[in-house]
């Protein structure tokens, strides 16, 4: 093992969770953090990759949902998976919970290994996750930043981005778990929490700079 590897493994960077509701601008803030020098892992992308990158995951998914959720050439059929686990029934909820028990541990292991490999001058790496709280990924984090925006702004952004109707966007927002920043502070008093308001009015660059300053002081 090299001297760099020894240093990296003995003092791994701390993990900053990055989350926010659809249309809040979480990924945009994530890109700003990357440009500032913080490595970032997108947990949603890792979760999607789990279906093909891990043979163990593939076998467990087939055992749970059936061979039809994969095409003959081994590619996951995400629409088929979604139709089973998001079915409006107790059976659907149960399948979703069981699927999460397969996927989430894989993502956690990947994140931990990835973080150990990163060379981050500021001592932090970023875990971007739309389901940070529901998945329990927040337990891996040393701090969390929540990107927020007024609902009307979020709806307009997603409409423009996806070409969806207001009703379709609203339905997607309603399906997401919703937590106010104040409620999160009360629920997780032991976790350093920060908020970035991406309402299109307040200066994002200034807020990100303030966030980095706070992280440096932890």
Tell the burial category of 153 from Cβ atoms under 10 Å away from its Cβ (0-12, 13-18, 19+). middle
How confident is the model at residue 177, as a pLDDT? 64
CA distance 17 to 191: 11
Mind listing the pLDDT tens digit for each residue in 125-151? 999 998 899 889 999 999 999 999 888
CA distance 31 to 26: 9
Token pair of 21, please?
């509701």
How confident is the model at residue 175, as a pLDDT? 64
CA dihedral 65, 71, 76, 81 (to 10 degrees): -40
Mind listing the pLDDT tens digit for each residue in 158-202? 787 777 777 776 776 666 666 788 899 999 999 999 999 999 899
Radius of gyration (C-alpha) of the chain in whole angstroms: 19
Domain extents in the chain: 1-39+120-218, 45-117
Mind listing the pLDDT tens digit for each residue in 8-64? 445 789 999 999 988 888 999 999 999 999 999 999 899 999 999 999 999 999 999
**Is-contact 80 64, C-beta < 8 A?**
no
CATH 3.40.50.300 assigned to domain 1-39+120-218? The reply is: yes
């Amino acid at each position: 093992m090299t001297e760099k590897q020894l240093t990296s493994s003995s003092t791994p960077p701390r993990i900053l969770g990055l989350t926010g509701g659809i249309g809040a601008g979480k990924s945009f803030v994530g890109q700003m953090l990357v440009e500032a020098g913080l490595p970032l892992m997108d947990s949603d992308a890792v979760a999607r990759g789990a279906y093909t990158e891990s043979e163990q995951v593939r076998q467990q998914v087939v055992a749970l949902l059936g061979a039809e959720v994969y095409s003959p050439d081994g590619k996951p059929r995400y629409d088929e998976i979604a139709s089973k686990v998001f079915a409006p029934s107790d059976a659907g909820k149960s399948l979703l919970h069981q699927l999460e028990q397969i996927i989430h541990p894989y993502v956690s292991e990947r994140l931990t290994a990835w973080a150990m490999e990163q060379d981050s001058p500021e001592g932090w790496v970023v875990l971007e996750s739309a389901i940070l709280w529901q998945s329990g990924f927040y337990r891996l984090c040393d701090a969390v930043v929540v990107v927020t925006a007024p609902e009307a702004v979020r709806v307009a952004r997603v409409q423009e981005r996806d070409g969806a109707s207001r009703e379709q966007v609203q339905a997607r927002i309603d399906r997401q778990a919703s937590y106010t920043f104040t409620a999160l502070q009360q629920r997780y008093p032991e976790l350093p929490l920060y908020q970035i308001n991406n309402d299109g009015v307040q200066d994002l660059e200034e807020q990100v700079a303030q966030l980095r300053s706070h992280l440096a002081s932890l």
